[in-house]
Amino acid sequence: MKRLILCVTILVIIITGSVLSLFLINNKNQQLIKTIDSITEFAEDRKTDQALEKIDEFSRSWKKYYICVSFLVESSCLEDISASCSKLKALLLKDSEELYSECETIKYGITLIYNNEFPYLHSIF
């Protein structure tokens, strides 16, 4: 009986943890995407200082998020986003158009984290 209770508890913990992690990922992703959007907006408006500030803010948030999310997601997916993130500052200072494509890559990568974790029928089968 003890064993059965332990197993039911383990299953409940796994299910609760999985659902909570999905909410956490979705919530954090929205925040990160918002920051990326404001970076592109500031860059378009030539507000370099504010854009730099947002890039720093994004880098800090990403580093924290990376540690949490690496427990759940394959690190190769996260490495691509980290690589793009490290280029942002240089691209902004160079006033390069590539900044926008890197921002889009980051946004796509972040969205992919959630999509890969969500149990869609096509991802289960």
In whole angstroms, how close is the CB of 4 to another protein at the nearest point? Answer: 5
In whole angstroms, how close is the CB of 7 to another protein at the nearest point? Answer: 4
Single-letter residue type at 96: S
Residue 94 tokens, joined: 């160079």
Q: How far apart are CA 107 and CA 104, in angstroms?
A: 5
In angstroms, how far is CA 19 from the centroid of its own chain? Answer: 17
In whole angstroms, how close is the CB of 32 to another protein at the nearest point? Answer: 19
Map residue 115 onto helix, strand or coil.
helix
Confirm or reject binding of residue 3 to another protein (CB under 8 A): yes
Among 14, 19, 68, 93, binds another protein (CB under 8 A): 14
Which one-letter DSSP state was computed for residue 1? -
Please report, as ranges, the residues that interact with another protein according to CB under 8 A: 3-4, 6-8, 10-11, 14, 18, 70-76
